[in-house]
Amino acid sequence: MPDGFEIPPRCQNPACNLPIPIQRGHRRRQYCDDTCKQAAYRARRREAELDRYEIQQREELQQQIAAWRARWGDLVPETLQLLATLSAGMAARVAAAIRAEVARAVRSQSEERTTLVETILFGGEQVNHPAILTENVSLAPGLDAWVAFCSYADLAELLQLRDQVYIVCTARARRGALARHT
């Protein structure tokens, strides 16, 4: 590159960042002048300060959330934050109400499971608990295998098995109907 076409360096003061004219025969400068040099130094110091502050805030939040959980139970941070804006008495009552709602949801999920297992085992009985093989369900024949499967299957597997039981029972019933009429 010929002389005079060199890209000039930019001032390292982030608030300035202007190109610094290149003076032939002089060392390349990093700053326009001492004012920019001072400003850049202050900016770096400020950044380091902010970094320390952010880390300190993380530690404080960690402790704050632990303290809130000890007081109000295992709720999500956003809920804890909201409770913290209420008076102590109101926060305690709202937290208790939320915990009761959570418990009710857990209970209804376990009731749903119980009902599902009853439906599956009742249906299975109608067709003598056959082997069930699908993409996601692999079930050996017999009541014991069915009971065992139902005890460890997750909700999604139980829902699939319920569909299979419906299909097997319905097909069996249709077979019976056809047999009676032909």
The residue assigned the tokens 């000039």 is 8
Can you name the residues that pair with 132 across neighbouring β-strands?
Answer: 139
| Nearer Cβ to Zn ion (12/164) | 12
Q: Exposed/middle/buried for 64, CB within 10 Å: 0-12, 13-18, 19+? A: middle
Based on CB atoms, which residue is closest to Zn ion, 22 or 137? 22
Judged by beta carbon, residue 10 or residue 71, the one nearer Zn ion is: 10
Residue 96's closest CA among 67, 104, 85?
104
CA neighbours within 13 Å on the CB side: how many for 44? 7
Nearer to Zn ion, 36 or 91 (CB): 36
Stretch that binds Zn ion, among 25-33, 96-104, 134-142, 149-157 (CB under 5 A): 25-33
Q: Which of 1, 4, 10, 13 binds Zn ion (CB under 5 A)?
A: 13
Element (H, E) at 133: strand 132-133
- d(C-alpha 146, C-alpha 131), whole Å: 9
32 binds Zn ion (CB under 5 A): yes
Site string for Zn ion, 98-137 (x = CB under 5 A): ----------------------------------------
* Separation between Cα atoms, residue 35 and residue 40, nearest integer Å: 9
The reply on whether position 22 binds Zn ion by CB under 5 A is no
Among 9, 10, 16, 168, binds Zn ion (CB under 5 A): 16
Length reported for the chain: 182
By CB under 5 A, residue 165 contacts Zn ion: no
Residues paired with 138 in a beta bridge: 133
Task: Check binding of 40 to Zn ion (CB under 5 A).
Answer: no
Q: Could you say whether residue 12 binds Zn ion (CB under 5 A)?
A: no
> Is 118 strand, coil or helix?
helix
Which structure tokens are listed for 145?
């295998």
- Contact segment (CB under 5 A) with Zn ion among 32-40, 68-76, 88-96, 151-159 equals 32-40
- Residues making contact with Zn ion (CB under 5 A): 11, 13, 16, 32, 36
